[in-house]
Structure 1
Amino acid sequence: MEHIEVITTTQRRRRYSGQEKAQFVALAMQAGSSVSSVARQYGIAPGLLFKWKKLMQDGGVTAVEANDQVVSSSDYNALLKKVKQLEQMLGRKTVEAEILKDALEIAQAKKYISHIPLLLPPDDIQHNK
């Protein structure tokens, strides 16, 4: 005899915490248990539980090999985006610094020119008065 479930309402996606996912994967990996049976028991799509199991196995191996923690791909992508933003900001600041340096050189050159006395013949100075 099979059990048939009729769904009459639309439900939003359920969000599982990392701890819940790890618990479901651990249950599926116990001796005498299967991913499909755990998925049916907790109302999870089997494909989703298989995916969590693979991710946990791959992530666990990666963490052990690297002797480091595993970072989610969304966190990794967010960090890459932040690095790109910071690189762009650094580029703009570098250009600003170059412009200010050039402006300072020009200002200093004009300052020296304005302090040089005019070398006009004495009779030209008196005609201008």
Structure 2
Amino acid sequence: MSEIENITDGGRPRRWSAAEKLRIVAETIYDGKSISAVARLNGVAPDLLYRWRKPMLEEGCIGVAEDDSVNGNRTVREMESRIRELERQLGRKTMEVKILKEALDKSRAKKPNLLAQSLRRGGSP
């Protein structure tokens, strides 16, 4: 079961199991209680209850039960960070290839000149 950390009164961390989330969200839907009242009764911040409720209404029980960070923002940030790092690495490799191609072109341009100079001096090809 996934859990989420919520800081409640007193500043102590609180963990909510998926079953607790589902029960609390169900109170707002089936018992006809307001979200603020349910939040107060259960010691949950109303905005957190809204965030739990949204995926449940959109995706059903799975939306809340599988929720790793309520809305997956942590996963998105990790993936964006990984993409940025890979883009940096790609940029470096692209520059390396460009530099090596320029060096190869310059060496090819000098090679006929060196060969011609060698022949003038009496060297063999």
What TM-score do the two structures reach when normalised by structure 2? 0.58
Q: Structure 2 vs 1, CA of residues 46 and 119 (structure 1 numbering), >3 Å: closer, same or farther?
A: closer
Q: Give the CA deviation at 1:119.
A: 2.7
CA distance in 1, matches of 2:52, 2:15: 13
Q: Deviation string for 1:21-51 (max 9, x for gaps)?
A: 3442123212344434433443223343234
Aligned residues: 103
Stretches of structure 2 that go unaligned for 5 or more consecutive residues are 1-8, 61-70
CA distance in 2, matches of 1:13, 1:20: 16
Q: State the partner residue of 1:88.
A: 88
Q: State the partner residue of 2:21.
A: 21
Q: State the partner residue of 2:74.
A: 74
Q: State the partner residue of 2:97.
A: 97
Task: Decide which structure has greater strand share.
Answer: 2
Q: Structure 2 vs 1, CA of residues 106 and 47 (structure 1 numbering), >3 Å: closer, same or farther?
A: closer
Q: Structure 2 vs 1, CA of residues 56 and 32 (structure 1 numbering), >3 Å: closer, same or farther?
A: closer
- If asked which structure has higher relative contact order (CA below 8 Å, sep 6+), I would say 2
CA distance in 2, matches of 1:115, 1:35: 86
- What is the identity percentage for the equivalent residue pairs of Structure 1 and Structure 2? 38
Stretches of structure 1 that go unaligned for 5 or more consecutive residues are 1-8, 62-70, 123-129
Question: Aligned partner of 1:80: which letter?
Answer: E
Q: State the partner residue of 1:125.
A: none
CA-based RMSD? 3.3
For residues 1-129 of structure 1, the aligned pairs below 5 Å read 10-17=10-17, 20-54=20-54, 56-57=56-57, 60=59, 72-116=72-116, 117-119=118-120
Q: Give the CA deviation at 1:76.
A: 1.9
Q: Compare CA radii of gyration and give the structure with the larger one.
A: 1
